[in-house]
Structure 1
């Protein structure tokens, strides 16, 4: 596939600003989706990682691509690869977001890169998001998006056998039901069909079932880190390694390290799906 990388890189520096009031109702839905209990009263600190739900693009149905994402060529560059995934990111928590306050998200494209992976061409788009509350930046996030080639006809060849993930000193088990994935898509206004349309996920994008969102896994790991440490991390980074599906439960694992906490997700007997690091 031919790429005009210079054209795609002309999107670097493009910006987008959106705002939303962080309502108690959103906090209630967030807590109900991930299974946590936090304050919901206006003026209270909002739960960690709720920023993924705030000030998201709201393209009309006629402006969506076949995958359910907003059509490319607007804010994001028109990468000519069909499969899009949230590859990872890094989040700096400067101050809590406050329930009842207006939160403004300022987004800027900072890089576009083309690489060659095991499955073919990969295009990485980096977006920085600043979430401000009361005129001050509360959360600063780097989002890494990857675009991939379509699955091979008839399925890809045999994959290299990956080692089973270890069990962490701290762990919990999560059962990713279709309802949980649908709810998380709803509160983040994420229309990507791989999370709620099983025939599409299998037959078009070549996955083994409904895909567990990367940000959902990151949220569960960040909450485990905060629960174990007794306070929110100052810095949290995560990177996807392999997909998780809705067919089996998966574990969220954590180990203390010299400089913070190492976390990962994996199904029982499976490889690491997502790796993360938290520091204070």
Structure 2
């Protein structure tokens, strides 16, 4: 898009310490023991808990996100979400490390979908521990037109009959905790009235990054080789109040994993490994 060409190539760097408390808090919120200590590997995708971009009240948009026009372009479409991404795990991040994240806008594209005009903004993030890049990822952000009708609420269904499956209850407490741990102010995740009346969702929206974190954790527990890459894409939103099935199965190159509510897949992902993968079972 010509009006936003000046944003392509923009870059910003921020440094943070991967302190244990934040990662352990998410582990406990998901039912774990929260026993990580300095020097332990940071669980995959827990780096999303760090590098907060905290804005004052006047620096926020009506949706609770940072106002447009700073690092990200001022796309005029009102609804924005994280559509998917691609992550390469080059070497482990460790709890207690000091890490610098450099973010660069690499592409801005306009498309037309079934719901109208869409604008995709791709941002690359490189995480450097002082000895080269440890994690490199691309995130696809999507801006959308106002909703014309409320989406139907999902209907609970039995867990799919697949090799790996877990069930998570994405209630309002879990969504609030994840929003707090990631400093994500987007109101669709904790403000039910806003989510339903302003963005026409049938309930609170389960964070895409939270679903991705659940999926990569399932794969890491189930495979007998390290995960080196994770490509994920949101297909349709998941909502609170209905069990979320976290599913997967091994492939020759890693695994295919997905979340599911009812009969619909919400997020789908491909897990890559450095060698042929097998099941730890």
The 3-state SS of whatever aligns with 1:234 is strand
User: Unaligned 5+ residue runs, structure 1?
Assistant: 159-163
Aligned partner of 2:83 among 83, 87, 92: 87
Tell me which moved more, 25-34 or 142-151.
Answer: 25-34
Could you tell me how far apart the structure 1 residues matched to 2:15 and 2:26 are?
18
1:278 aligns with: 271
Aligned partner of 2:40 among 27, 40, 44: 44
Could you tell me how far apart the structure 1 residues matched to 2:203 and 2:160 are?
24
1:131 aligns with: 127
Displaced runs of 4 or more, over 3 A: 36-39, 164-167
Q: Map of 1:103-182 to 2, 5 A cutoff? A: 103-152=99-148, 155=149, 167-182=161-176
1:249 aligns with: 243
Alpha-carbon offset, residue 157 of structure 1 = 9.2
The 3-state SS of whatever aligns with 2:195 is helix
Could you tell me how far apart the structure 2 residues matched to 1:176 and 1:66 are?
24
Could you tell me how far apart the structure 1 residues matched to 2:97 and 2:259 are?
33
1:191 aligns with: 185
Pair 157,223 (structure 1): closer, same or farther in 2 beyond 3 Å: closer
The 3-state SS of whatever aligns with 1:10 is helix
Checking the alignment, whether the CA contact within 8 Å between 1:22 and 1:101 is kept in structure 2 is yes
Checking the alignment, whether the CA contact within 8 Å between 2:28 and 2:34 is kept in structure 1 is no
Corresponding position: 1:202 with 2:182? no
1:222 aligns with: 216
Aligned partner of 2:10 among 14, 20, 38: 14
Could you tell me how far apart the structure 2 residues matched to 1:14 and 1:167 are?
46
TM-score (norm 1): 0.91
TM-score (norm 2): 0.91
CA offset digits 1:257-279 (Å, max 9, x no partner): 22220011111x32110000101
The 3-state SS of whatever aligns with 2:227 is coil
Could you tell me how far apart the structure 1 residues matched to 2:178 and 2:225 are?
24
1:61 aligns with: 57
Alpha-carbon offset, residue 165 of structure 1 = 9.5
CA offset digits 1:53-74 (Å, max 9, x no partner): 1113111121000000000010
1:211 aligns with: 205
Checking the alignment, whether the CA contact within 8 Å between 1:51 and 1:131 is kept in structure 2 is no
The 3-state SS of whatever aligns with 1:209 is coil
Could you tell me how far apart the structure 1 residues matched to 2:78 and 2:87 are?
27
2:278 aligns with: none
Alpha-carbon offset, residue 24 of structure 1 = 1.4
